[in-house]
Structure 1
């Protein structure tokens, strides 16, 4: 991959939990497309005619992310940086989130323990939608494995800039719709759902957005009409890819389990009290479950979440 290398700095209003992002990405990285290397996140990208790799790290002493762009990006630098800001939720002032959620005695301890947790978005809405469909009713590990198979089978190879670095661009909607997914590790019905959705996006029969210019409700309604797509898939996708801060994947197994454990709590849990930031509440609850899993080193409480 030829092209120049540039480094940029993106400011944010603290706090930001970079370790949380790295752990989340590291356990879900699509092999060949993205990776967590130490304290850095690396991925390939294609944006119009711009093709390259991104390397993100946190500034060692300041409230900034460092973004290194490698490749032929033409005039797309600002668009790329805008996508990074959206992906890592850099434009939110968490004080507004904490002011709403911190009133709830069930959430206040979680915010105090992990004040810099944000909603991780997605570089590509389509890539995140594929991950969400693949992740239906399987473990995080299984979904990650299948995503790697999809990328290596249907993704376009790129020249790696360093040994062991990303090797593929994630498949386009057309490549996924027309590609061979036999023996990929998913039930045939889910494969059909995935390819039907990819076909609809490639044909533009779903009003699928690029970041910042999509009709959120229109996308959600269109997806719900697709066979094999239910409320959990749509709400999870809306939270991360469409940046709907109030999205609530209420049928998620982990969230249901947590709420059931607190059924007798006083005051009782009322998720409407978390509006308009129910999505941030979901992320904190998932983070709590993930931490408990790592501490206990038993079971897999995250198996419902891609």
Structure 2
């Protein structure tokens, strides 16, 4: 979008927050870059320059605006809506792959050469993987500076910087303030939090209807791993350097997030995974406009616009849970998952609530005895075969996975049919066009709305909803009385 100057100028002049994260506006006279909705008076058009990423603006010598904080805007919807090389690379960078494994590690996971990855990112985003990772480190540093009492040296290394000097120079360059000045500004009028807890706001593009999003996560939550407590959805997180507990509470203009981490280096990754789980980087206006063209869906969209797709923080975990949920009730699926958690999950302490375990690693589940599973032999075979493939790394359901290849590999497993494949594609892979046409709730909704109920006929009708069929699923599910459609009362 940033190449369409006229459209970008209109967005800036109207301070349209819908375009925050789609592009960044740099001002030649001040050498500052902003989000489109920045509250300051828009600059003259001749002084505007547009960039596709904060990293590109920083690389061009611009610093972040202190008013609109462009580094904290919602991410571009493109990285969650596409499955090409650049989108996969951006999801992996957000998941910390460059900081952990370097650019060669990123290229290896993508299956391309380092040169190809660098060239394509530079061409589309105006910055290579190192610059993009640097921009993310700067934002992580800002969050830690403003929301924790860590010593600055600890902040530097927790943010992924190799030295305190590089940390100081980067913060000064990007924000035009020293780390100490940033902390001083943030602590004015701030409210204390529990020791070891990081509190922050997760922005999103309005509108957002939280009912089905949080309702689904809560209704299908695995006891011990997830809970609804104190008006917030809470769950444990398995992270590269340790584990964490996150609390997520919906508010009208942001998601209130509290993170407790065993290793602060996991902050950016934890934030990225939570944003992905809540689908916060979606473009609800584009989605709802297209779905509203169908006269059947239009009233559903008008009633509760901005529905999101409830996703997951761990693709392999969700795949296991999808198999456990085959042809059983939500309550039965939760019971099966809870038994696996108690037997194979790792215990954690949670002084603030009732969480007890991390969901088991795939290598731990690979050792389970099928005879202990309280469901039919065919499903035991499906589960053990899936777990073995995931534990061996034969199927990749991570942030940078190839959606088409993952679908093919899943479909080749015994007992994995279209419902399971599309459920995993929708919630684990994050494909916005995944469609569970054979789902019982979808078929009931189709019947009540006068839509075709046979899967093939419904798929044919749903072609008009592409590429947003996963969002159409949320609107169809919302026609039922299932607990997934509402946030429980305290």
| TM-score bucket of the superposed structures, by smaller chain | 0.7 to 0.9
| Deviation of the 1:134 alpha carbon | 0.6
Task: Find the counterpart in structure 2 of residue 290 from structure 1.
Answer: 481
CA–CA distance in 1 between the matches of 2:483 and 2:358?
A: 34
> Could you tell me the TM-score, scaled by structure 2's length?
0.55
- Matching residue of 2:461: 270
Does residue 116 in structure 1 map to residue 303 in structure 2? no
Local SS of the residue matching 1:106: coil
| Structure 1 gaps, min length 5 | 296-306
Asked whether the equivalents of residues 241 and 265 of structure 2 are also in contact (C-alpha less than 8 Å), the reply is no
Give yes or no for the alignment of 1:188 onto 2:377: yes
- Over 3 Å counting, the alpha-carbon distance change for 1:250 and 1:167 in structure 2 is same
CA contact (8 A) 1:11 1:90 kept: yes
Provide the C-alpha distance between the structure 2 equivalents of 1:293 and 1:50, rounded to a whole number of angstroms.
Answer: 30
In 2, the alpha carbon distance for the partners of 1:129 and 1:264 equals 28
Q: CA–CA distance in 1 between the matches of 2:248 and 2:200?
A: 10
1:172 and 2:361 aligned = yes
How far the C-alpha of 1:130 sits from its partner, in A, is: 1.0
Distance change in 2, residues 1:7/1:156 (3 Å): same
> Contact 1:216/1:238 (CA < 8 Å) preserved in 2?
yes
- Take 2:451 and 2:271, find their aligned partners in 1: how far apart are those partners? 43
The alpha-carbon distance between structure 1 residues 185 and 287, as it changes in their structure 2 partners (threshold 3 A), is farther
TM-superposed CA distance for 1:182, in Å, is 3.5
For residues 136 and 181 of structure 1, the distance between their equivalents in structure 2, rounded to whole angstroms, comes to 16
Task: Give CA deviations for 1:172-192 in whole Å, capped at 9, x if unaligned.
Answer: 111111123544322222122
- Separation of aligned partners in 2, 1:220 and 1:236: 11
Report the 3-state secondary structure (helix = DSSP H, G, I; strand = E; otherwise coil) of the residue aligned with 1:289. Answer: coil
Counterpart in 1 of 2:255? 65
Q: 1:181 to 1:41 in 2, by over 3 A?
A: farther
Counterpart CA distance in 2 for 1:250 and 1:48 is 36
Equivalence for 1:301: none
Q: 1:253 aligns to what? A: 440
* Deviation for aligned residue 1:232: 1.0
* Bigger mean CA offset, 18-27 vs 216-225: 18-27
Aligned mates of 1:14, 1:42 — CA distance in 2:
23
TM-superposed CA distance for 1:101, in Å, is 0.4
Displacement of 1:69:
1.1
CA deviation string 1:45-87 (max 9, x = no partner): 111122121111124xx51112111121232211110111111
Aligned to 2:342: 152
Q: How does 1:68-79 map to 2 (within 5 A)?
A: 68-79=258-269
**Deviation of 1:108 (Å):** 0.8
Offset from partner CA, 1:131-180 (integer Å, 9 cap, x none): 11111111111111111111111111112223x52100100111111123
Deviates more, 1:67-76 or 1:178-187: 178-187
Q: Could you tell me which residue of structure 2 aligns to residue 281 of structure 1? A: 472
Residue equivalent to 1:137: 327
- Does structure 2 conserve the Cα–Cα contact (< 8 Å) formed by 1:22 and 1:39? no
Evaluate the alpha carbon distance shift between residue 173 and residue 200 of structure 1 in structure 2; reply closer, same or farther with a 3 A threshold.
same
Tell me by how many angstroms 1:264 deviates: 7.9
Cα deviation 1:184-207 (Å, max 9, x = unaligned) = 32222212211111111111122x
1:198-230 residue CA offsets vs partner (Å, 9 max, x unmatched): 111111122x1322x111111111111111111
Tell me how far 1:260 sits from its aligned partner: 4.2
Deviates more, 1:248-257 or 1:114-123: 248-257
Q: Does 1:241 align with 2:432?
A: no
Question: Cα RMSD between the aligned structures?
Answer: 2.3
Higher deviation after alignment, 10-19 or 77-86: 10-19
> Structure 1's 110 and 292: CA in aligned 2 closer, same or farther, altered over 3 A?
farther
CA contact 2:312–2:427 (8 Å) conserved in 1: yes
- Do 2:325 and 2:333's aligned partners in 1 also have CA atoms closer than 8 Å? yes
Q: Distance in 2 between matches of 1:204 and 1:87?
A: 22
Q: Which of the numbers 404, 410, 413 marks the counterpart of 1:226?
A: 413
Given that 2:445 and 2:479 are in contact with CA atoms closer than 8 Å, whether structure 1 keeps it comes out as no
Distance across 1 between alignment mates of 2:370 and 2:213: 30
1:234-290 Cα offsets, whole Å, 9 max, x none, are 11110111111111111212223333452589xx98211111111111111111123
Verify the 8 A CA contact 2:213 2:309 in the aligned structure 1. no
Asked if 1:52 is matched to 2:241, the reply is no
Q: C-alpha separation between the residues in 2 aligned to 1:294 and 1:244?
A: 21
- Higher Cα Rg: structure 1 or 2? 2
Taking structure 1 as reference, are residues 279 and 293 closer, same or farther at Cα in structure 2, changes over 3 Å only? closer
Q: Does structure 2 retain, via aligned residues, the 8 Å contact 1:50–1:74?
A: no
